[in-house]
Chains A and B, each alone.
Chain A
Amino acid sequence: MLDILLSSLGQLFTLSHLLFMVLGVLVGLVVGIIPGLGGIAGMSLLLPFLYGMEPAVALGMLMGLVAVIPTGDTFASVLLGIPGSSASQATVIDGFSLAKRGQAARALSSAFLSSMIGGLIGAVILTGFILIARPLVLSFSSSELFMLTLLGLSMVAVLSGRDLFKGLAACGLGLLVGAIGMAPATGEFRMNFGLDYLYDGLPLVVVGLGIFALPEIVDLLVKRGAIAEEPCQLGKGWRQGIRDVREQRGIVARCAAIGSLIGTIPGLAGSVVDWLTYGHAVQSAKDKSEFGKGDIRGVIAPESANNACACGAMVPTLLFGVPGSGTAAVFLGGLLLLGLQPGVGMIETHLDLTYTIIWSLALANILGAALCLVLARPVASLTRVPFATLAPLITVLIMFAAFQATRSTGDLLALGAVGILGVLFKQANWSRPAFLIGFVLAPGAEGYFYQAVQFQGTEAFMRPGVLIICALILAALFIPLLRSLWVKRRQASSVGAASTVRTEPPALGVIDVVLFITLLGTAIVAWIDVADLTLIGGIMPRLAIAILAVSCLMEIARCLMHRPQWQHQAIGLHGLWLAGFFTLVGAMLLLGFITAATLFCLVFLLAIARLKPWVAAVMAFGVTAFLVGMAEFLTLTYPSGLIDPWLFG
């Protein structure tokens, strides 16, 4: 055992291994930083070289890539508000808020440092755990997995705070949108309205970009100025970020442990870990008021978890051949190409390779995070650039990212459609994370519930694991409530009963009214659409519709009972920019993606950002070069339109 550990450590530090691992790390960072590409694109870049390579060296290269993807994508989520991959959705909330407050360097440095520590903790846990993981992985049956998705969903209540009904409605809508596509239990197609695009459901990348990134772009364009609204001190922020991690070491350790354990559970991994750890950070904080507005703990928690989760995801991939995440799925393909069959053999006959994988993971984590830490300070100065200059580039970038999801026109249109929803939610202060949590967890919740009932009947909900998770959910929901009651009572007894009774009136604005009408309308349309589904195939969308409709009605009732405070909610300018977005989509389909993107950047930079003509021309040319280069290296395609095939072949 120990000799194998040491010999794989020796293997790690051979020159060829190190070289290929650095190559993997660099590729991983590049594809991690560019939103929408992520692990799958990186793997496809490396896979052609894999066949015929020596397994240990090739594995080092692949692990270099896998390890740094959840590190690299932090740049886009903190600086630009773009969730680069599913691993960085929760980071966007507080990371981007910090960037807007001029603390991008702080957010980045603490994110990278906690990524590194998280990854290391994950690797250490994995070293021992991989030997005994089999029974634990097998002890999670479908009913425990279902309860874990519920635990993830319960974070909606934690995150929506005072606006519980709005949060629930957003979550209900997310569940409904997540139910589009094939019913896992019966294979029926739901709510596709005859559109081929919807048969597979909406891609996560598109929904993430639409709900988070597009509204931020529109909002910043309306406000003008730079991303950082307050003056930023990069150097000081950078050191502050390092200090933050030291102060929050408890959160780092706990979240890394949660990350690596949840990562080992096949089929769940990345999607819940972010929100679970983010929710944990919120719950464990004494002062919750800054979350969502720029609390460093909201960055540290998910970042220390997601690298650890990438480590943990190796357990089901290596031991069972069941990948825990999208990247792990591609990694599995790499293993097969190298002639390695995952299974018990990975710890019985190939234990040395397994340890090479784990150690490469640890080393690559250190390398990747160190590189990012160095880059953090200069790159953070992006937030000082006037946003109008960045806007066309970011817009092209997110459209590029969205289109890579399924490479169909539908991606761009869906991005716009979810973007409209995102803008409305943002302006009216409805919880966008709640929507995303619902969307991400809908398939898991439905699939595992159905499986649990089918496999185990009613016994499914009496299993000890289920009861434990159930207790956790109840704790997540009720402990904050009890605690606030307790605090209130103490205050009441010391100050006097009358002064503490205050119910804040709900805020209401024109967008809220629009949203109520639209959501209730959606509920009715969806209800009619799912009417002819079988009982099992239709139960999930019906439940989602019920949550959506009931929470909307409850919120309306709340507004009727307590006289709401009328709020002015501006939307006119936002609408105009959104219309501009759809015009751009139209132009891309007509002229071709590259042509339209180049022209759009040029015109936008000249007319709106008012840059010097040569600067605008250089930047527009840069966009062309980027798009053409990507198409060349990664064999990507874009909407071709009329002009592109003619200009770019």
Chain B
Amino acid sequence: MNIQKTATSSHSLGLLKRAALVGLAITGLGLTTSVQAQDVEVPGNIKWTIPFGVGGGTDVWARFFSPWLSESLPGEPTIMIDNVPGGGSINGANLFAVRAKSDGSDWLGTSASTQYPAMLDDPRVRYDYSDWTPILATPTGGVVYAQPSLGESADTALDALLEQPVKLAAQNPTGVELPVLIALDMLGADVQAVFGMRSRGEGRLAFERGEADIDFQTTSAYLSNVKPLVEAGKAVPLFSLGVLNDEGKIVRDPTFPDLPTFNEVYQARYDEAPSGNEYEAFRKFFASGYALQKLIMVPKDTPQALIDTYRQAARDFVDTEEFKEAAETQLGPYTPVIGDTVQRHLDDAMSIDDATRDWLADWLESEHDAKI
């Protein structure tokens, strides 16, 4: 028994030695390539995997970005969008994790519904965000609003919200509404979420029909479809989710300067800043689903010089007036975030400690009968 153990350990020691040697060799190679990488060329064809169907939000987002990126990259590479839908983006991301080449010719476009399952340890997920490096992220904001029957002003509506159970139409317990559900719960509202909507649009329809008492939309849908309702007195905005500043703090959304953020509303009601596991969960899912809603990722082993080239190309066009004007209808009034800032926020958002995850699992099960 003992002898065998030693045998295996010496065997594994041998393996270790070999692995170390191989590792050294690889690092050596890596060093030489990274030296070469200074003048590394942008590939002529870039395959941009979009794990969603044609015409969906992320697909449109990618199709909007691709000419801008292509034109500002040296050599104007052809960017080909490859839609791999299925499993709410899990299938495509899994496939990318296995197949993507790290020579800069493979990009991935992800969205909140790619980030969330990874954060929740969904058994179907076989990708890991730490294997990828972000190039660019586009943020979005969102607004929670209520039926005027709850109250004519935001304050009275909020008061009513805390007194009676309210209904909200959502997609599924771990969908993009998750941070909103957590936020409302933290405020003390008894939200009865009705799941099974196929899009946020269907949720808004349920609100307009009067079936849902409160609803939530991201910025662009809010501006085009809810603002007219607010103006007609058919909806009362309650709070926005805010935006993440460079230091990672949640601040007022520049699109809605007059609307308090969730944090402010909480502060006003409870005289203290929100905290605890539930706030931790809210913050992380808000960051990965809204502040970094959609991301361009490349495999981590892509030469650093190429990554820098890509990031620089993005920086080159995002500040032009021309882009800002075009982006207004596509991305809302938010500026894309580029490079290390994204990495920092992403690392923070994707790392959930066990206490937070346990709290979330309990909460989902007790509040929404959902197991993760």
Q: A residues engaging B (CB < 8 A)?
A: 40, 43-44, 47-48, 50-52, 137-142, 182, 184-188, 196, 199-200, 266-267, 320-322, 329-334, 336-337, 339-345, 406-408, 447, 450-451, 454-456, 534, 536, 635
A336, B172: Cβ atoms under 8 Å?
Answer: no
Q: Which of B124, B169, B211 contacts A456 (CB 8 A)?
A: B211
B211, A141: Cβ atoms under 8 Å?
Answer: yes
A51, B196: Cβ atoms under 8 Å?
Answer: no
Additional A-B contact list (14), CB under 8 Å, known A186-B369, A200-B86, A321-B225: A40-B55, A43-B55, A48-B63, A51-B64, A140-B209, A320-B201, A333-B54, A344-B228, A345-B228, A451-B169, A451-B211, A454-B194, A455-B167, A534-B369
B174 at the A/B interface (Cβ < 8 Å)? Answer: yes
B31 at the A/B interface (Cβ < 8 Å)? Answer: no
B316 at the A/B interface (Cβ < 8 Å)? Answer: no
A184: which B residues are within 8 A, CB to CB? 172, 195-196
A451, B224: Cβ atoms under 8 Å?
Answer: no
In the bound complex, how far is the Cα of B171 from the Cα of A646, in angstroms?
44
What residue in chain B is nearest A327 (Cβ atoms)? B55
In the bound complex, how far is the Cα of B228 from the Cα of A321, in angstroms?
14
Could you tell me which residues of chain B, from 327 to 361, have a CB within 8 Å of some CB in chain A?
A: 329-330
Q: Report the minimum CB–CB distance from A332 to chain B (whole Å).
A: 6
A451, B225: Cβ atoms under 8 Å?
Answer: no
What residue in chain A is nearest B85 (Cβ atoms)? A406
A534: which B residues are within 8 A, CB to CB? 369
Q: Which of B54, B192, B225 contacts A47 (CB 8 A)?
A: B54
In the bound complex, how far is the Cα of B46 from the Cα of A72, in angstroms?
34
Q: Which of A182, A199, A333, A536 contacts B369 (CB 8 A)?
A: A536
B196: which A residues are within 8 A, CB to CB? 184-185, 447, 450-451
B329: which A residues are within 8 A, CB to CB? 336, 339-341
Q: Report the minimum CB–CB distance from B177 to chain A (whole Å).
A: 12
A200, B87: Cβ atoms under 8 Å?
Answer: yes
| CB within 8 Å for A343 and B228 given contacts A455-B194, A536-B369, A635-B80 | yes
Name which of B80, B82, B199, B212 has the most chain A CB atoms within 10 A of its CB.
Answer: B199
B206 at the A/B interface (Cβ < 8 Å)? Answer: yes
How many chain-B residues does the 8 Å CB contact rule pick out? 52
Interface residues of chain A: helix, strand, loop or mixed (majority): helix
| CB within 8 Å for A341 and B172 given contacts A51-B64, A334-B55, A455-B167 | no
In the bound complex, how far is the Cα of B224 from the Cα of A337, in angstroms?
15
Q: Report the minimum CB–CB distance from A257 to chain B (whole Å).
A: 24
A339: which B residues are within 8 A, CB to CB? 326, 329-330
A345: which B residues are within 8 A, CB to CB? 224, 228
B205 at the A/B interface (Cβ < 8 Å)? Answer: yes
Can you report 22 residue pairs joining A to B where beta carbons are below 8 Å apart?
A44-B54, A52-B67, A141-B206, A184-B196, A196-B124, A266-B202, A267-B202, A320-B201, A320-B204, A321-B221, A322-B199, A330-B54, A333-B54, A339-B326, A341-B223, A341-B329, A343-B224, A344-B228, A451-B194, A455-B206, A455-B211, A536-B369
In the bound complex, how far is the Cα of B192 from the Cα of A454, in angstroms?
9
Q: Report the minimum CB–CB distance from A557 to chain B (whole Å).
A: 37
What residue in chain A is nearest B201 (Cβ atoms)? A322
B370, A142: Cβ atoms under 8 Å?
Answer: no
B11: which A residues are within 8 A, CB to CB? none
B169: which A residues are within 8 A, CB to CB? 451, 455
Q: B residues engaging A (CB < 8 A)?
A: 53-57, 59-60, 63-64, 67, 80-87, 91, 124, 167, 169, 172-174, 192, 194-196, 198-199, 201-202, 204-206, 208-209, 211-212, 220-221, 223-225, 228, 326, 329-330, 369-371
Going nearest first, the 7 A-B pairs with the smallest beta carbon separation are A333-B55, A330-B55, A184-B196, A341-B224, A322-B201, A455-B211, A187-B172
| CB within 8 Å for A40 and B53 given contacts A142-B211, A188-B371, A322-B205 | yes
Q: Which of A47, A340, A456 contacts B63 (CB 8 A)?
A: A47
What residue in chain B is nearest A452 (Cβ atoms)? B211
A199, B211: Cβ atoms under 8 Å?
Answer: no
Q: Report the minimum CB–CB distance from B181 to chain A (whole Å).
A: 13
Q: Report the minimum CB–CB distance from A324 to chain B (whole Å).
A: 11
A333: which B residues are within 8 A, CB to CB? 54-56, 59-60
B87, A199: Cβ atoms under 8 Å?
Answer: yes
In the bound complex, how far is the Cα of B174 from the Cα of A635, in angstroms?
32
In the bound complex, how far is the Cα of B326 from the Cα of A330, in angstroms?
21
In the bound complex, how far is the Cα of B235 from the Cα of A344, in angstroms?
15
A336: which B residues are within 8 A, CB to CB? 57, 60, 329-330
In the bound complex, how far is the Cα of B130 from the Cα of A452, in angstroms?
42
Q: Report the minimum CB–CB distance from A54 to chain B (whole Å).
A: 15
B370: which A residues are within 8 A, CB to CB? 186-188
Q: Which of B60, B83, B194 contacts A337 (CB 8 A)?
A: B60
In the bound complex, how far is the Cα of B110 from the Cα of A115, in angstroms?
40
A343, B225: Cβ atoms under 8 Å?
Answer: yes
A340: which B residues are within 8 A, CB to CB? 329
In the bound complex, how far is the Cα of B364 from the Cα of A534, in angstroms?
14
In the bound complex, how far is the Cα of B205 from the Cα of A47, in angstroms?
27
What residue in chain A is nearest B173 (Cβ atoms)? A187
B209: which A residues are within 8 A, CB to CB? 138-141
What residue in chain B is nearest A448 (Cβ atoms)? B196
A140: which B residues are within 8 A, CB to CB? 209
